[in-house]
Structure 1
Amino acid sequence: MMRDGVERHLEPKVMKVLLVLASKQGHVVSKEELISSVWSDTFVGDDVLTRCISILRRITEDDPHTPRFIQTIPKAGYRLVAEVNELPDEETLDLHRVTAASAATFEPASTLESPNAQTPPKRPARPERMIAAGLTVAFLLAVIAVIWSYQNARTRVARGNASFKTIQFTSYAGEQTQPAFAPDGKRIAFVWIAEDSQSRRIYIKTIGSEDVRPLTPGTEDQQFSPAWSPDGRQIAYLAIAKDGVSLYIADVGSSVPPRRLLIPQEPSHWEQGALSWSPSGKSLIYPDHSGIQPNSSIFLLDLATLHTRSITDPPAGWEGDLNPAYSPDGRWIAFARASETAVRDIYFMSTTDGTVQQLTRDRMNIDSLAWTSDSASIIFSSNRGGKYALWKIGLEDKVPQRLPVGTEDAYQPAVGPRPGQLAYSQGSAIWSIVRLRENTSRNNSSSAEAVLTSTQQDSAPALSPSGQSFAFQSRRSGNQEIWIASAQGDKLRQLTFMAGPLTGSPSWSNHQDRILFDSRPDGHSHIFCVSAAGGRPKQLTFGNVNDITPRWSRDDQTIYFRSNRGDRWQLWRISAAGGEPQPVTTGDGIVPQESLDGRWLYYTRGDEDGLWRVPPKGGAETQVLSQPAAGYWGYWQVTSRGIFYLDREAASSTIRIFDPETRRSTLFATLKDPPPMYSGITVTQDGLVGLMTYQGDAGRHITFVEAQP
C-alpha cells in the first residue's frame, strides 16, 4: 500500500482485517467476527488479531487513546472511525482509467462516537472496493491482489487439509523437549528435563508404547540436541561437562560409553536443535564461532577426518547463523540467520555450489525448523502470528501457511520419515511479578506475594525511584511491549506500541520522567526513550548493530548499554542529548549500573558468572563477585544498602546484599524456587522491597501427530 508517498507492505491477513472493518465502517465488529472472517481456515487466539490491529495503527500513526482510524470498544471489538468513500462503478470496471484525483480516500471522522452512540445506517458490504487514507491507485490494485491471493490460499489450504490424529507423546514430570524421529519412524529421541532443572538427559521412546530408555545410562552430563545417524544406529548430541560443551556420538542400545568428538569454540543456541546429520552419514553440521568472531556461522564436521570448517558467512554485526538442518535428499541446508537474537529469518543453501537464498522475510523470531520428508518445504516454529505456532513454507512459492496443528505455544517441530508424521513440544506457564520482603523469621523464610499474574509472559520489572510504580515487559497484548503498573499491581497501562518487534529491558530515569528500552523495528536492536506519561518514543542509537539493556547514569546525562558495534559485545555509553557512542569496556558487559557516588560502573557479562566493575569512562575491569550465574545477568541492583544479587551457589537460591567496602554479603531473602533466566530483580533505593519475576506451573511436553487416511 502507499501512504504519504511511501510504499508500505502489509501481510495478507493484516489487509484482510482492514477490509472487514472497512466493509462495516462506523459499526463495531466483534473480535469473533473478525477472526472467523480472516482466519476461517484455522484456529487462532485473540493475540493474532491484536497484532494485526497494532500494525495498522503503527502504519497509520493512530493513537489508540485518541483514535482517528481504528477505535477499540472494550469487551466488544473494533470500529473503523475514518470515513470510507467508494469508487464509482464505471471506474472500478476499468482500473487503468482511475487517477489519483478520482481515487477515494479515508478522511478522519470529525467526532468519535461513544460505544453507546447510535451507529450510522449500514452501507453495502463491498470490501474489495474499500481503500485507505491517502492511498492512490496502487493501493486499490494491491487490495484486489490480496483478495485474490487470499481466496486462492484458502482453496489451497482446504484442498491440502487432511485428518490428523494427535497424541500426547510424553506427559512425565518435568519437561520434555527437542523431539527427533529415528529413521525408521518407530522411535523418538527427546530431552527430558528433571523437575528441579538440575539434569537434562536424552531418552528414547517407542511410538505406541511406554518403552522409555535413557540414551546413555549413568551419565550426569547436561544433554541437548539429539540427531539420529541415517542408519539409526547412533545419536549425536551436545552435552555440558565440567570442561565445557562437547559434541558426542553414542551407540543406540549399547552400554559402551559415548565418544567425544570435539569441543566447539562457542556453540550458539545449542538447546534449540543445533545438530544435523547429513543423509550420507559422512558429516555433522552445527553453529559455532570462528576464532574471536562475535557472530556464529554454520560449521561442518567431517566424521572421517574430524576436521571442521565454516560453511556460511553471516553479515558483520549480525548475531549469526543458527538451527542448521540438512534436507532429506542432501541437496540443501536450511538455517536461521539472526540479525539479533530475537530477529531471525530462514535461509537455505545449496550443498553443491554454496548458493544461499532467503526464504522468509518476517524479521520475527524462528524458534526452530525441520524439513518435510520430500525436501520441498520447511516446518518452523515462529511468533510471526503472535504466539509461537507451527508454519509451513515451500522453497518454490515462499508463502508461509499456518499448520492446522500446533497453533499455540508450539516449538521445536520434528518431521518423521513416514507420511504425516510430526512431533513438537508444547508448553505453558503462569507468570507472576512477586514482591519480595526481607527474611524476618528464625527459620530464614521470606514472603513473596504476587503483584501481577498472567498466562502471558510478564518479566523484567523496573521500579520507579519513588517505588510507587514499576515498568515491565509483557506479552499480554500479543507482542512484547513495555507496560506500567502501580506498586500494588493495578492501574495497568501499555506504554509502547511497537506492534511486532520484540520490545523490553525498561529502565526508569532517576528523575522518573523518562523510560529507556530496547526494540527491534528494523531487524536490529536499538535504544529508545519515551516519556513515562506516554507518547512517541525517540530512537537514540542506529546502525546495522545491536544495542540492548540500556541504563541511566545517576545524573540522567549518560546512557550505558551493551552493544556489538565494536565487532564484539562491550559496554558503550552515549550522551542522553545524543552524539556518537563511546566504548567503556574492552570485554563483554551487560545491565550496567553506576554506584551511588558515580565512581564505578558495575555490570555482569552475557555468558559468564559474576559481577564486575570499571570506571565509568573506562579503565581496569575487575571482578568483584562470583555471582550472579551466567544467564541470570539481570538479577542484581545497586542500592544504598549495598548490591542486591541472586546467589545460586547454595542448595537454595537466595537474594543477598554485597557491601563493596567490606566485601561481605548478608542474606536478604530465601527463594522458594529458582527464578527464570533472562529476567531480573528490581529493588527500592532504600533496599526494603524488591520485585522479581516468578514462573510457576511450567511444563513442556511432546505432542505426536499422525495423518489419517
Structure 2
Amino acid sequence: MSEHRAIGRIEETAALPGAGGPGSDFTAGEALVQPALNRITVHGQVHQVEPKVMQVLLLMAARPGHVVGREAFLETVWAGTVGDDYLLNRAVSELRRIFGDDPRTPRYIETIRKGGYRLVAPIAPARVAAAVPAPGVGSPPPAAVSPAQAEPVGAAATPPPARGRWRLLAPLVVVALALLVTLAAWRMRPAATPLDGAWEVQPLTSYVGREVEPSLSPDGSRVAFVWDGGQGALDIYVKTVGAEDTLNLTRSPGDERYPLWMPDGRSLLYARVDGDGLAVMRVAALGGAPIRVMGDARVQAVRGMAISPDGRLLAYSAREHADAPYRVVLAALDGGTPRVVSQPPGGSVGDLDPRFSPDGRYLVFVRAINEVTRDLYRAGLGGGASTRLTFDNRKLNGVAWSPDGEHLLFTSTRSGMYALWSAAPDGSDLRQVALGNEVVQQPTTAAGVDAIVFEHWAHRSQLRLGDLGTRGEGDAGPFFHSTRWDSSPAWSPDGQRIAFSSNRSGPHAIWVSRSDGRDAVQVAGFGGAFIDNPAWSPDGRLLAFDASPDGTSAIYVVASDGGQPRRITTGPGDARHPSWSRDGQWLYYEANHDGQWRPMARRLEGGDPVVLAAGPGERPRESADARWLLYARPDTGGIWRMPRLDWAGEAPVAATRLEVDLRGGDVDRWVPGEAGIYYVRRPEDGVSQLALFDPDSGRTQDVLPLASGFEGWGFQLSPDQQRIIYSEPTRHESDLRIAVLREPDT
C-alpha cells in the first residue's frame, strides 16, 4: 500500500468520539493520551512511547469498538517499510503494559482471534471527560474534576518536532481526530447556557425508517437511539457525533426501547417488554452481551425511562393492562420493590417521559389526558400529590433539562406547530427556543454540553378511498391528497362534500372540501389545540367534532360552512368521537367521568346526558336502519348492540355482543352500513381484510384486501354505499438532528 493509500485509509476510518486538532488530547479509559507528545499518562504515571506505538493506538481509537485487522495495521502504520506481526504484537504488548491491561479480561485492548484488535475502553475528549489533570511523574491518582476546572485542550507544553514517518502521519491523524474541533466548539460552560443564543441545526442520522428516542452521552460525543432498520424490530444503536460510524448494540427479535447512558458513559440501560413483563437490560457502550439488571413482571407497556444523576435510581412510565393509565414508577437498580410515585386520573393516557431533576430530588413528567392534550407535572421521589407546571392543554412530546440544568426544555404546539420551549423549574418564564423552522420531538441533552439532539419527523397521513364494487383503490382525483396530515374523513349526507381534520395550513383544524378534494376551506380551529373527528348532521347543516381548547376534551358543533363553534357537552370529564342519530335529534359520544369511557347520548338542544351502558364502550353510532345502537369495547373486542329507544323516556336495556371478530385495538376501524357492519379482520395468517358482517345471518365475507400491517382508521361509507373512505399513514419516518450553540462573533 502506498503512502497516499495509507492516508486514505486513516481518513476513511476516522471516527474517534472526541477527536481534535493539532496537539489535541483525549482519554482512553483512565489514561490521558497526548498524541503530539507521544505520551500516555495513567494514574499520574507518565510513559513516553515510540511513534509507531502511538500510531497503533490512534488507529484503534479512530474506530472505538470496531475490529482493526492486522493487515490494516501493517499497511497503515508500517506503510512503505518492512513490518510484520512481531512488530505489531510488540506495540500492542507495550500498550497493554502501560495500561495495566490483562488480555484475558481486557479493559483496553481486546484480541480478536484471526481478526486483529479492537479498543474497548471508552474514548472521550480530554476537556469534556475531565478525567485526568495535567500529568506529573509520581503524582497520585486523580480526583474527579469539574468542567470549570478541567485543563484546556492543548494546554501541555509545545510538542517537539516530529521525526521519521510520524512527521507524515501526524497531519493525517489530525484529520482522523477532527471531531474534537466540533466538541470543543460546544464549550462546557460553568455559567448558564444562553438558550436564546444562535443555534445551528445539523442532520445527525438519515437512515431509512424510524430513528427515535435519542440519548446524548454524558460527554456529548455519542448518541444512542432506537432504529427499526427500515422495517422490523427496534434495536439500540450508538452513533458518533460528527462521523458516520454507527454501532448496533442489540439484535433481538423483540423491540428494545428507551436507551439511557449510565453517568460514567461506559454502558447503557434499555427497556424490553414481553410476556414476562419489563426487563431493564445493561450493555457496554462499545458492544457486548446484554445483562438483565432488574425487572417488573406487572408491566405490560412502557412510555419512557430516566436514570438519576448518581446512577442509582430508575424511573419509568408503565401500565399493567391496556385500559389503565401509565404511572411513573421508581426503582433502585441494586434491588428493592418498585414504587408508584404518580397517580394520573383514570381513563387518561397517563404520566409519560419521566425526567430526574439535575439534583436528583424530584421528577418531572408529561401528563397526557389523551394523546394530544398534555402538560408538564412535577412529583417528589416519595410520591404524593403532583404539581402542575404548564397549562397549555396542547400536544407535548418530550421533555429534557437545559445543558446548564436551570430550565426545562419541552416540545409543544402552544404556538400552533411543534416547537421547542423553555420554562423555569416551576413552569414560569415560558420562552420559545429559536431553532428555525424545525419541528422538534423528544429533545435530549447532556449536562454542560451545549447541544440538543431531537427527533425530526416525516410523518404523513392521507385520505384513502376504497371501491367496494371493484374491491380496489378508488379514483378520488389529484386534489384528494396533500403532503400534510389529513385524517378522520366524513362524507356529507348528499355525498358532495368531505369534512376532515388537517394541519395543511399550520395548526390542526376541521376542513371541508368537495368530494374530490377541491375547494378545501377551514371551518373550525382552536390555534393548535386538539381538534378531530368531524361528523355531519343528517341535514348537512352542522358538523360535530371533539376538541380540547381548555384541557378537557368536549363535543362541539359548528355550521358546515364555518362560524363560531358551540360547546355541547359540559361538566367535568372528557368527551370524544361524536356521531348523530338518524333523526338528527341526538348526539352520541363516549365520555370519561369516573376513569372509564362509556357510551353516551345527549340531545342537541340540551338536557341531561344519558349513559347508555354500565360497562366500557367506545365509538357509539346507530345502525343504518336506526333500529340499533352499536359500540365497540377495547377490553373484550367485538361490537355490542342494544335496541334504539327514546333515550329521554326509556332506560337503555343491556347490550349483547355480536359475533364480530373485531380486535380490541381496532375500535376505530369499523362502520355500520345498509348491508351490515364493515370492519378490519386480521387473520392469524394472511393479509388483513375489510370484511362485512351480517348481523341477521351471522355471516362474514371479505370485501377488500388491506395491507398485512394495516394502520388506517376512521372508516366512513359514502351515502350510496359504494365507496369507503378512511385515513392511513403513508409515511412514517423520523431522523435525528442536533442543534449546536454557535460561538458568538468576535
TM-score (norm. length: structure 1): 0.69
- Alignment of 1:506 onto 2:529: no
Instruction: Tell me, in whole angstroms, the C-alpha distance in 2 between the residues paired with 1:500 and 1:332.
Output: 30
CA deviation string 1:626-671 (max 9, x = no partner):
33562x4322211112222233445544322222233333333234
> Superposition pairs for residues 481-560 of structure 1, below 5 Å?
481-560=509-588
2:41 match? none
Give 1:167 deviation, angstroms: 3.1
Sort the Cα spacing of 1:704 and 1:498 in 2 relative to 1 into closer, same or farther, 3 A.
closer
1:454 is aligned with what amino acid?
S
Instruction: Tell me, in whole angstroms, the C-alpha distance in 2 between the residues paired with 1:177 and 1:567.
Output: 31
Do 1:391 and 1:403's aligned partners in 2 also have CA atoms closer than 8 Å? yes
Instruction: Tell me, in whole angstroms, the C-alpha distance in 2 between the residues paired with 1:397 and 1:528.
Output: 30
CA deviation string 1:463-515 (max 9, x = no partner):
12322212111122322221111212123222214334211111122333322
1:182 is aligned with what amino acid?
S
2:262 is aligned with what amino acid?
S
Give 1:449 deviation, angstroms: 4.1
- The higher radius of gyration belongs to 2
CA deviation string 1:46-83 (max 9, x = no partner):
xxxxxxxxxxxxxxxxxxxxxxxxxxxxxxxxxxxxxx
Sort the Cα spacing of 1:662 and 1:189 in 2 relative to 1 into closer, same or farther, 3 A.
farther
Instruction: Tell me, in whole angstroms, the C-alpha distance in 2 between the residues paired with 1:529 and 1:315.
Output: 27
2:128 match? none
Do 2:225 and 2:259's aligned partners in 1 also have CA atoms closer than 8 Å? yes
Task: Identify unmatched segments of 5+ residues in structure 1.
Answer: 1-156
- Alignment of 1:582 onto 2:614: no
Give 1:281 deviation, angstroms: 2.4
1:704 match? 738
Instruction: Tell me, in whole angstroms, the C-alpha distance in 2 between the residues paired with 1:696 and 1:319.
Output: 25
1:657 match? 692
CA deviation string 1:571-616 (max 9, x = no partner):
2222333222232234432222222344443323457754444555
1:601 is aligned with what amino acid?
L
1:18 match? none
Instruction: Tell me, in whole angstroms, the C-alpha distance in 1 between the residues paired with 2:365 and 2:736.
Output: 23
1:667 match? 702
Do 1:640 and 1:686's aligned partners in 2 also have CA atoms closer than 8 Å? no
- Alignment of 1:237 onto 2:265: no
1:190 is aligned with what amino acid?
F
Give 1:519 deviation, angstroms: 1.2
Give 1:455 deviation, angstroms: 2.8
SS of residue paired to 1:496: strand
2:660 match? 625
Instruction: Tell me, in whole angstroms, the C-alpha distance in 2 between the residues paired with 1:696 and 1:315.
Output: 34
Give 1:333 deviation, angstroms: 1.2
Sort the Cα spacing of 1:245 and 1:599 in 2 relative to 1 into closer, same or farther, 3 A.
farther
Give 1:199 deviation, angstroms: 2.6
1:230 is aligned with what amino acid?
P
2:697 is aligned with what amino acid?
T
Do 1:332 and 1:350's aligned partners in 2 also have CA atoms closer than 8 Å? yes
1:249 match? 281
CA deviation string 1:323-366 (max 9, x = no partner):
21112321331112334442222223344796854432222221
1:222 match? 255
Equivalent in 207, 214, 217 of residue 182 of structure 1 = 217
- Alignment of 1:203 onto 2:262: no
Do 1:264 and 1:288's aligned partners in 2 also have CA atoms closer than 8 Å? no
**Aligned length, in residue pairs:** 542
1:433 match? 463
CA deviation string 1:218-277 (max 9, x = no partner):
x21133322233344554434343x27624223232324646601345646x2xxx1111
Instruction: Tell me, in whole angstroms, the C-alpha distance in 1 between the residues paired with 2:237 and 2:637.
Output: 30
Equivalent in 367, 375, 386 of residue 337 of structure 1 = 367
1:347 match? 377
SS of residue paired to 1:511: coil
Give 1:369 deviation, angstroms: 0.5
CA deviation string 1:358-382 (max 9, x = no partner):
4322222211101123321111111
Do 1:390 and 1:407's aligned partners in 2 also have CA atoms closer than 8 Å? no
Instruction: Tell me, in whole angstroms, the C-alpha distance in 1 between the residues paired with 2:383 and 2:611.
Output: 40
2:657 is aligned with what amino acid?
T
Sort the Cα spacing of 1:240 and 1:510 in 2 relative to 1 into closer, same or farther, 3 A.
farther
Do 1:238 and 1:245's aligned partners in 2 also have CA atoms closer than 8 Å? no
Instruction: Tell me, in whole angstroms, the C-alpha distance in 1 between the residues paired with 2:322 and 2:731.
Output: 40
2:204 match? 169
Give 1:289 deviation, angstroms: 5.1
Equivalent in 287, 291, 311 of residue 317 of structure 2 = 287
SS of residue paired to 1:452: coil
SS of residue paired to 1:379: strand
Do 2:352 and 2:366's aligned partners in 1 also have CA atoms closer than 8 Å? yes
2:671 match? 637
Give 1:684 deviation, angstroms: 1.7
Do 1:434 and 1:691's aligned partners in 2 also have CA atoms closer than 8 Å? yes
CA deviation string 1:127-156 (max 9, x = no partner):
xxxxxxxxxxxxxxxxxxxxxxxxxxxxxx
Sort the Cα spacing of 1:435 and 1:520 in 2 relative to 1 into closer, same or farther, 3 A.
same
Do 1:446 and 1:671's aligned partners in 2 also have CA atoms closer than 8 Å? no
1:169 is aligned with what amino acid?
L
TM-score (norm. length: structure 2): 0.66
Instruction: Tell me, in whole angstroms, the C-alpha distance in 1 between the residues paired with 2:629 and 2:710.
Output: 25
Sort the Cα spacing of 1:428 and 1:160 in 2 relative to 1 into closer, same or farther, 3 A.
closer
2:571 is aligned with what amino acid?
G
CA deviation string 1:506-537 (max 9, x = no partner):
11223333221111122100112233343333
2:409 is aligned with what amino acid?
I
Give 1:311 deviation, angstroms: 1.6
Sort the Cα spacing of 1:312 and 1:697 in 2 relative to 1 into closer, same or farther, 3 A.
closer
Do 2:490 and 2:498's aligned partners in 1 also have CA atoms closer than 8 Å? yes
Sort the Cα spacing of 1:689 and 1:277 in 2 relative to 1 into closer, same or farther, 3 A.
same
Sort the Cα spacing of 1:164 and 1:532 in 2 relative to 1 into closer, same or farther, 3 A.
closer
Task: Identify unmatched segments of 5+ residues in structure 2.
Answer: 1-191, 645-651
SS of residue paired to 1:171: coil
Give 1:383 deviation, angstroms: 0.9
